[in-house]
Structure 1
Amino acid sequence: MTTLPNVVADALDRVAPRLRLLREQRGMSLSELSALTDVSKSTLSRLETGQRRPSLELLLPLSQVYRVPLDELVGAPPTGDPRIRLRPRLVNGRVVVPLTQHSGGQHAWKIVIPAQASVPDPKAHDGYEWLYVLSGRLRLVLGDRDLELGTGEVAEFDTGEPHWFGSTGSEPAEVLSLFGPHGERAHTRADVAQQ
């Protein structure tokens, strides 16, 4: 059984690479971060290399600048709360909200695609995707097919086939996406009563 001091030490050891990754994702230099947090550049560097143990006094200003909760900053273990903390991100001009938090298997996202003219750029990769249009209209380019889906319509496809999707029309498209990395398909079950 892992003792509490070992759990704490392990968590603290994982803070350094997380801090570096957050700074790099935001395209900030140590000097810029130092100016925003009033923490010296050398202290920030030592935090990111694991040469200095993080303290609340150092982590709070970083949490504020990065706009992430402190427990995410330090990688606190889950508390048993089954609710998923929705943390939208902007990816290629789209708002992507992860709806699952586990690292393997199928993943679910809500994607909001702005109403703007986009030139399709189909890509292929391993996996299988299922799309459900929550609102708006979605253009799906799949291989040599060019399809338009409306609210309530569904598409599923092998992502090994070149594909691209975007909004069409004058309003954003909101899409629910389920993706399985190794060809895993979504299975739905419905209890249909005989009429």
Structure 2
Amino acid sequence: MAASVSGRQPASSTAAAVGTKIRLRRQQRGMSAAEMARRAGLSKATLSQLEAGKGNPTIDTLDAIAIALSIPLADLLAREADTGPVYRPGTVAEPGEVSRELLRRISSGNSLEIWRLRVPPETELAGVPHATGTTEHLLVSTGHMTAGPVDAPQDLGPGDMLAFAGDAPHFYRTDTEPADITVVLASPINT
């Protein structure tokens, strides 16, 4: 990530969204920044940084803020519904390196994440089991690979799609050519 002019890392979209929610909820409660900081056990400067989207709060800090605001922690983390199309330009993968790129995260009863996975030739990746109930969907754009659960792998080529239980051990293995796949992870949201 490139540094900003001030030498600091630019705020992430997640930090900015969380900061906006903290400020909005504080204002909805009619609470001053000083009162909010006191109730959450934070300095006013820390709260100001968080509201500006420039902080990197721990879960404990967000939990303290949620308690001070008398709201569920999820209210600070939930993303608003999308208002229009989202375009992500393609990126160039470095030859010989695995490239992982989060394309999108969507919530609608499930947590959905869309990833682009570029795997070099003759590479095997072990898939760590995801949360219980997760389904993994693979769509191969280019190349050939063997992928899926360790006990039932499938040979896949361009245009092939495979869905399987992502909460069990799985893997991805390319042959003599690289592969470019889209991976969609659908995990249930437990409330």
TM-score range, shorter chain: 0.3 to 0.5
TM, length-normalised to structure 2: 0.47
